[in-house]
Chains A and B, each alone.
Chain A
């Protein structure tokens, strides 16, 4: 019986292969390569930057139409939510089928670079999009491993800041904090009457890993050593994470309910509706806060404060969105033209405002906000107080393992448990083993 089955299966598979092979000789090989601009349609996957996917389409469509008018190259746009973007990029990488140009989170730069699936911006390609010099150096460096030819270029710049409710601070007679200690003290004072000092998206692994990185960096720690080996369990890292978790555990300035927020916008909604006095967010929160009904005059922004005895003053990492071209594209020259257009001064000034993005072009003015103070705070953090996330091939699992570990520890705290330093260390050890298994 088993033998019959095996033979049957083998025959069938062979037959299938033959059919496929036979067909392949007849069929054409898909689209033509690098034809004239007029016959070319580029596929572009944009990430969800606006208030909704529909909103993104509304913002981008006129910009892309203008590109088509100028060059004759048509662009097929698909906006992809952050939940799906990674999986979709994976399928494109593994199959060589997908878009020509894609938006990526710039922290993925080195990791996606290691797949070898993306076109390198070597001298010729870089020249075609206007030269490396046109970008802010911090922004360009953030998108790939040091010393390697970049495979992505910056599109939108983002930075973290501490948003605070001006009225609540004034009522309590408080000044915006300049150190971590002041920050916690203010948050404690503002945690009264059902309101909390701070809102956190404590179930969002991306937010968690970002703050884990920042608090650890303030303690002078790195998650990887010089050779790119993970060193997650060092004491300064444990201390940094402990300080971050303490916001809910011992300082009690974060509503335990936030342990369910798996999306940064939920924390922003609490801030905008006055349920929390402060929120830590990237500068594109402006659009969300406004959509939630809070006037830009009612909040202020300061840099994420460091502790008094901090080893390094780190307020953000150079966050943002980059553009990459898939290596398999049959329209490299057109794709380069498109990247050049998207990173041109004109397009950037059009898009920075709706997406509340920091400029990635050298010498460009910040146009994401009309508030000069806010712009100054974010630009200062981005340019002077930033440290990039680890630029290693395992960056993706570094983010997901530690970020999710922290989500679970927040859940433990919220449901009445305690998280000791030993627990944090154990979580980091688990994460490190998973990352090592991949590397």
Chain B
């Protein structure tokens, strides 16, 4: 919303400097994004939240400033609408379910022409293009008061009839700016005897607009159903100033004021005379409503005691007509009633004020969020484990092992393109997909971390010789949403470590997590590196945080290296387990060295109950050699 300071000043005295005003407006909820100084004015650009359609008008912003400055607002002078003895004929058929209020009047004998300078300048400051005096007045009053208004050329309404109805879908409509549309189903439109003349709440029709030759106009100030406007506007991809107001909820009690203001200006700037009694078709009276605020509840939610007088002043400055009903002092009543209630009367332009908490916000924001003290929650700290608990300390532990091993961590997008999939021989048909992707490159949910890691690997090749990368992140499995699962994967890629180093790294991770798992199956040997990918969510289910201290051995071990020559294809792991199996006194076996078919094992013998003797070890060694020979035809290498 663009707001010129000069226009605001017509309704409220402003003492704050533009910079201070901008800051205060932001604090109360009208986010001031820019302050532009022009040669004769200051323009504020405000971000209006969806709950405040009233602030899509100058008067709405002026009201907020009046509350900030604690001043009264000067509402424009409105005439009483004159009735006429000789009304022109016009039948209006409407339905409050699709058009809750239809306010309007006919003015005849007008002269369409250029707007006066002051009006054109005002519109231009608001980035609006002046068109002619009638259209400009309707735009002006909408910007001023926040009620959208449309002027029809009365003489083009065939049959003197206006019928509000919903479309069946597919109807042709040409907007006042000359663009042709096919209307969606359920759009609210006005038709005359022959054709659609208005797309309600969004755009007027070209066939009934106000042009040079127009002599008689019908001014319509409606209330529309937000959802219906929203749906049509979205379906057509067509938004207007009017539709943004109607979508969010127009001031339903403001149509008569807007009609008076418009009529007054038309008579002044375009001449003519009132040619109908005012129309105001509605089923309910759009009256202000009552809302109560318990003073004790206010204190309780805010955490401070704003004095009663200050509270009343704030509500008064917001035009909410507060009336304090003192609390009952009888002892048995609970605390909540002691401070009494403040009954407010909510003006129809404040559709956002519906519950007590809304009033609490009103008091708090005008009091000023930055004037509040800061406290910490007082209650008990929860000790029961929260649902959906995640142990980030475990992630940190794993990541630190990878980091210590030289791997750097990356974060990549979960969304990938179909090309990414097909290049990696994955059928996109079997991958979860977004219906409305931001681009083809980000259409599918990744089923693996490999694709992004490979890309990262290639990207870094131009700058680095040695690359070690990993990611711990979600992958998304399931061919359709019914089977969709989000699983954490831990994956890495390296061209700087060999298979055994990666294997050892994974073994170290498993060991630290207390998990018994074979790491080989997670490792893939690529053309130019090693890749690993682990289903991390699955893996950490076996996480065992318990570590038990084992007392240090009282008796020294005997250590020896045995070189073995094997024949044919013998697996090292088989040899190691065979050696271990020969005696419980063999406490550790590791591969020290290998060359061709010779392998040297480092063997630790230890008895926790007594000193081992050379003879005892020789006995075990014999057993080992014997079994290795019989099972693997392995011989001692002398």
Q: Do A and B come from one complex?
A: no
User: Which of A's residues lie within 8 Å of B, judged by CB?
Assistant: none
